[in-house]
């Protein structure tokens, strides 16, 4: 680029993002199909704090292996099981606390079966039933409803904010499209979690919220470039401005993603090697959500938006005629 | 435009020394937030600044207490009462900064099971005293007169007999404060703001008792806290509990207990046990190891890609991580300490990711401006200015998310919750959810530190370094050789 040229726009090669509509529709369809099939095939496991279940405490003579106990209990109750070991203060003995989700509690027969199985698996531990409780969900339907209202409320505030800050490039539609991209990323993270067979627990809530923040930030960085291009090139066509904005942000988008996805990859590898599997339900969906965030901020948000603007322009043209 | 306050700040005053001052401040802050500051005087350890050791960790990492409560006596709680009691306990946990907890209720046997992690630096691992942290499970009452009778079942305890004027349910909020007593000395008190119903009842009782010798006594269960006489009618709905708090913490803990709401029935503990950390001490090491490896990778990556601004970014990121830890560990005296949980770590990772992003955006911009032929000084100036709008908007949307989450799932008496609960969440009961709340807090703090470290401090450092002759080479900033 020669120095005399007035355009202070970057040297990045402008790629045509706006023409990739077909690809976006196909990818979105695949994502949705995989999610639906995943939910049907694998089912959605919900953790005890959201669903309610049974908490049983056993007294035992010595420390039992939590991993082995988990297997024994899981083979009987057929849901994921949380095992905790500890000490009873009054009797000074060891204790084993088993919690798992269950519909309408556990019958006496099943409980006896469970106790017998544990006694058989740990013959030296002298396992006896200490206490059994059928518990209601700690954070039930109300929590989910409130979560949904909170997220919708936050989304509306974000749309209003984008509408105001990006008014020179048609802010309302930009805001709505950014939320569309956000929903896309949330679905991907959720699908990744379901496909891996992780149950919905509070880690999942944290993952979805992280994706929410990250995805919006990603989209806005690209919108910012489009907004700036609009000022620098007031006469250019909308699609050109969007293409230029996405192209200029491409390096930054990829590099930022490499650091964040890389961080999750490091965590996933370390967790796999060291065997603390419970962290996987956190790092794996987050990693997929982050990858999706990079894609959706470059394609889903700007391209659906350009589509929208084109439709709007065509409509107003038709009206004039 | 005011928005450019940080981004477009005049740079006249930035000299060579600025770099060293900023680096020194960041390192000092980081060191103090990691190591903390305390001194030993005899057997008493006084903590001046909380460090990483003072962070309460989640149950899975640190282990904790499992306590089962039941209604005292033969009281049969309804399902609604049990749910209300569960919510009160949840609120108390969050107002204590314990964000990793499990509270289960069993409607059939009227049991409430509470699990929460040990305090930071717990050494004696006594569940009975840990449970005391949850505050009184007793019922607050204001009674007419101070009469009581001896408990027929236990000679050493008494039962108040005065007519109940107010109960915990009539209190809207409570906070600790101090005021002069009769001798003119300041003492710690708990100040109560009463609800509409409480206001009327209290006004009526104090009007009747004003000037008489009949006191109004204040009880927690069967223990009388104080029995002041009424000098004049109190109609403004404010009441004060005084006379029994020796420290500010005593008063605050009582205030927190009262604001969390009254338990609908008296409870007693039916069993205690300890919980071993499921993931073990090793899990923390694994997380730390992953964090260190990831940070080292990011540092190398930034250095290779952006050279001098990359090096500055690494310093700024250290400051930002320290900032997130400082928020969790109560480094800032005005904030409550929190619990470091997996979601909390997610909040920190998101904030660090946004910090890296801010530095990449500016780094790319500096390169671009240099390649378009600008001088080094104006390239740096314009790059920071242009990058700022993107960073600003991206971070402010995250502030919106954080505030909605804090308001929706925080303690109901807090500022944001009050606003949201009376408007958007009007139809919902108060649901306090420590996990989501702690995520919101770390996210909000991360964004603030992103502005301080990733934007402001990084800009000061880069601009200052560019004044050194040896750092004038455009290649150091990713530009082509002129």
Determine the average pLDDT of the residues in B150-166. 76
Which of A67-71, B262-266, B401-405 has the highest average model confidence (pLDDT)?
B401-405
Task: Report yes or no: B113 and B86 within 8 Å, Cβ to Cβ.
Answer: no
Task: Report yes or no: A171 and A163 within 8 Å, Cβ to Cβ.
Answer: yes
What chain B residue is nearest to A214 in terms of C-alpha separation? Answer: B350
- Chain A residues in contact with B105 (beta carbon < 8 A): 135-136, 138
More confident residue, A32 or B261: A32
Please report how many Cα atoms fall inside a 13 Å half-sphere around the Cα of residue A177, on the Cβ side: 26
pLDDT of the residue at B236 = 83
| Residue of B343, B355, B371 best to disrupt the A interface, most CBs of A under 10 A | B343
Whole-model pTM: value is: 0.76
Residue A313, min C-alpha distance to chain B (Å): 27
pLDDT of the residue at A3 = 41
Contact (CB<8Å) A209/B356: no
- pLDDT (tens, 9 = 90+) of chain A, 321 residues, equals 444 444 444 456 788 888 888 888 899 899 989 988 988 887 777 777 677 778 888 888 877 777 788 888 888 877 778 787 877 766 667 888 888 887 766 777 878 888 888 888 888 778 888 778 777 766 566 777 778 888 888 889 999 999 999 988 878 899 999 999 999 999 999 999 988 888 887 778 778 888 888 898 899 999 999 999 998 888 888 889 999 999 989 989 999 999 989 988 988 898 888 877 777 888 899 999 999 999 999 999 999 998 888 888 888 888 776
Question: Over chain B, what is the mean pLDDT?
Answer: 79
Contact (CB<8Å) A217/B394: yes
pLDDT over threshold 50, residue B295: yes
- Chain B residues in contact with A297 (beta carbon < 8 A): none
Give the model confidence (pLDDT) of B368-395 as tens digits.
899 888 888 899 999 999 899 889 998 8
pLDDT of the residue at B482 = 47
Element (H, E) at B377: helix B376-409
Contact (CB<8Å) A206/B342: yes
Find the length of chain A: 321
Q: Is the dihedral of CA B112, B113, B119, B125 positive or negative?
A: positive
Give the model confidence (pLDDT) of A129-157 as tens digits.
877 877 776 656 677 777 888 888 888 99
DSSP label at B55?
P
pLDDT of the residue at B312 = 93
How many contacts does A have with B, using Cβ atoms within 8 A? Answer: 251
pLDDT of the residue at B4 = 43
Strand partners, B67: B114, B272
Residue A213, min C-alpha distance to chain B (Å): 5
| Residue of B102, B116, B283 best to disrupt the A interface, most CBs of A under 10 A | B102
CB nearest to A251's CB, from B287, B364, B401: B364
Contact (CB<8Å) B349/A210: yes
pLDDT of the residue at A7 = 45
pLDDT over threshold 50, residue B6: no
Contact (CB<8Å) B408/A258: no
Classified as helix, coil or strand, B27 is: helix
Task: Report yes or no: B445 and B351 within 8 Å, Cβ to Cβ.
Answer: yes
Residue A69, min C-alpha distance to chain B (Å): 13
Q: Residue B311's pLDDT band (boundaries 50, 70, 90)?
A: very high
DSSP label at B229?
B
| Residue of A7, A8, A50, A86 best to disrupt the B interface, most CBs of B under 10 A | A86
pLDDT over threshold 60, residue B10: no
- The DSSP-derived string for A85-151 is EEEBTTT--EEEEEEEE-TT---HHHHHHHHHHHHHH-GGG--EEEEEEEEB-SS-HHHHHHHHHHH
Determine the average pLDDT of the residues in B135-162. 74
Which residue in A215, A304, A287, A280 sits closest to A25, CA to CA? Answer: A304
What chain A residue is nearest to B280 in terms of C-alpha separation? Answer: A276
pLDDT over threshold 50, residue B215: yes
Determine the average pLDDT of the residues in B231-239. 80
Task: Report yes or no: B187 and B243 within 8 Å, Cβ to Cβ.
Answer: yes
pLDDT of the residue at B111 = 84
- Rounded to whole angstroms, the maximal C-alpha distance in chain B is 96
| Residue of A211, A259, A278, A281 best to disrupt the B interface, most CBs of B under 10 A | A259
pLDDT of the residue at A180 = 92
Determine the average pLDDT of the residues in B324-336. 73
CB nearest to A224's CB, from B113, B354, B393: B393
More confident residue, A60 or B277: A60
- Chain A residues in contact with B275 (beta carbon < 8 A): 84-86, 97
Specify the pairing of strand B339-340 against strand B56-57: parallel
- Chain B residues in contact with A279 (beta carbon < 8 A): 283, 286-287, 342
**CA–CA gap between residue A253 and residue B277 (Å, rounded):** 39
CB nearest to B386's CB, from A66, A213, A228: A228
pLDDT of the residue at B51 = 74
Element (H, E) at A186: helix A171-195
pLDDT over threshold 80, residue B429: no
What chain B residue is nearest to A56 in terms of C-alpha separation? Answer: B113
- Chain A residues in contact with B409 (beta carbon < 8 A): 146, 150
CB nearest to A133's CB, from B111, B301, B396: B111
**CA–CA gap between residue B18 and residue A141 (Å, rounded):** 54
pLDDT over threshold 50, residue B267: yes
pLDDT of the residue at A4 = 40
Residue A108, min C-alpha distance to chain B (Å): 14
CB nearest to B278's CB, from A84, A133, A262: A84
CB nearest to A146's CB, from B389, B394, B428: B428
């Amino acid at each position: 680029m020669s120095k005399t040229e007035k355009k202070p726009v970057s040297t990045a090669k402008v790629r045509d993002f706006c023409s990739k509509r077909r690809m976006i529709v196909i990818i979105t369809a695949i994502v949705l199909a995989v999610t639906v099939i995943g939910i049907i095939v694998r089912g959605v496991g919900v953790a005890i704090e959201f669903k309610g279940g049974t908490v049983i405490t056993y007294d035992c003579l010595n420390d039992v292996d939590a991993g082995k106990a988990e297997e024994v209990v899981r083979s009987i109750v057929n849901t994921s099981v949380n095992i905790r070991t500890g000490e009873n203060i009054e009797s000074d003995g060891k204790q084993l606390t088993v919690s798992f989700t269950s519909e309408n509690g556990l019958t006496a027969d099943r409980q006896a079966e469970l106790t017998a199985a544990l006694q058989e698996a740990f013959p030296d531990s002298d396992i006896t039933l200490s206490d059994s409780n059928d518990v209601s969900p700690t954070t039930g339907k109300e929590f989910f409803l409130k979560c949904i209202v909170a997220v919708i409320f936050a989304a509306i505030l974000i749309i209003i904010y984008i509408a105001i800050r990006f008014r020179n490039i048609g802010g309302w539609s930009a805001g709505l499209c950014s939320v569309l991209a956000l929903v896309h990323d949330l679905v991907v993270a959720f699908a990744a979690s379901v496909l891996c067979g992780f149950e919905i627990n509070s880690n999942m809530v944290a993952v979805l919220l992280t994706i929410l923040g990250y995805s919006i930030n990603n989209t806005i960085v690209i919108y910012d470039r489009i907004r700036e291009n609009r000022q620098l090139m007031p006469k250019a066509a909308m699609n050109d401005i969007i293409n230029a904005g996405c192209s200029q942000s491409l390096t930054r988008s990829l590099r930022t993603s490499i650091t964040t996805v890389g961080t999750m990859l490091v965590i996933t590898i370390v967790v796999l090697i060291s065997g603390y599997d419970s962290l996987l339900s956190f790092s794996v969906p987050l990693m997929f959500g982050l990858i999706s965030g990079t894609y959706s901020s470059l394609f889903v948000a700007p391209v659906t938006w350009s589509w929208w603007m084109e439709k709007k322009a065509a409509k107003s043209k038709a009206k004039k005629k | 435009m005011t928005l450019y306050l940080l981004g477009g700040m005049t740079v006249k005053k930035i000299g060579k020394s600025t770099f060293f001052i900023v680096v020194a401040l960041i390192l000092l802050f980081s060191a103090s937030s990691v190591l903390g500051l305390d001194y030993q005087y005899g057997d008493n350890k006084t903590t001046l600044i909380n460090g990483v050791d003072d962070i309460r960790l989640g149950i899975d990492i640190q282990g904790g207490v499992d306590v089962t409560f039941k209604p005292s006596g033969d009281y049969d709680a309804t399902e609604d009462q049990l749910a209300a009691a569960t919510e009160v306990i949840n609120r108390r946990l969050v107002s204590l900064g314990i964000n990793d907890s499990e509270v289960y209720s069993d409607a059939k046997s009227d049991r409430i099971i509470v699990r929460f992690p040990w305090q930071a630096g717990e050494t004696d691992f006594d569940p009975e005293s840990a449970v005391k942290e949850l505050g009184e499970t007793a019922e607050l009452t204001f009674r007419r007169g101070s009469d009581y009778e001896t408990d027929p079942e236990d000679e050493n305890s008494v039962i108040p007999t005065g007519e109940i004027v107010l109960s915990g349910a009539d209190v809207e909020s409570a906070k600790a404060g101090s005021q002069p007593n009769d001798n003119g000395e300041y003492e710690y008190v708990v100040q109560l703001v009463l609800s509409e119903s409480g206001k009327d009842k209290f006004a009526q009782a104090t009007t009747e008792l004003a000037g008489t010798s009949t006191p109004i006594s204040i009880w927690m269960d069967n223990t009388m806290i104080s029995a002041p006489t009424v000098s004049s009618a109190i109609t403004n709905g404010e009441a004060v509990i005084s006379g029994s708090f020796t420290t500010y913490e005593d008063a605050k803990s009582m205030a927190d207990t009262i604001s969390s709401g009254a338990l609908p029935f008296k409870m007693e503990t039916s069993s205690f046990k300890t919980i071993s950390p499921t993931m073990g001490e090793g899990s923390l090491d694994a997380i730390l190891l992953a964090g260190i490896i990831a940070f080292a990778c990011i540092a190398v990556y930034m250095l290779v890609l952006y050279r001098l601004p990359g090096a500055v970014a690494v310093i700024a990121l250290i400051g930002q991580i320290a900032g997130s830890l400082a928020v969790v560990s109560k480094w800032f005296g005005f904030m409550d300490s929190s619990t470091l949980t997996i979601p909390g770590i997610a909040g920190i990772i998101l904030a660090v990711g946004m910090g890296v992003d801010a530095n990449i955006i500016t780094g790319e911009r500096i390169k671009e401006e240099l390649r378009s032929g600008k001088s080094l000084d104006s390239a740096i100036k314009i790059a920071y200015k242009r990058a700022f709008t993107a960073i600003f908007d991206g971070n402010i949307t995250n502030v919106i998310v954080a505030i909605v989450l804090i308001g929706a799932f925080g303690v109901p008496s807090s500022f944001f919750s009050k606003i949201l609960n009376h408007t958007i969440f009007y139809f919902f009961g108060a649901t306090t959810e420590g996990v989501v709340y702690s995520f919101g807090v770390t996210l909000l703090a991360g964004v603030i530190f992103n502005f301080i470290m990733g934007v402001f401090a990084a800009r000061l450092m880069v601009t200052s370094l560019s004044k050194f002759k040896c750092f004038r080479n455009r290649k150091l900033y990713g530009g082509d050789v002129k």
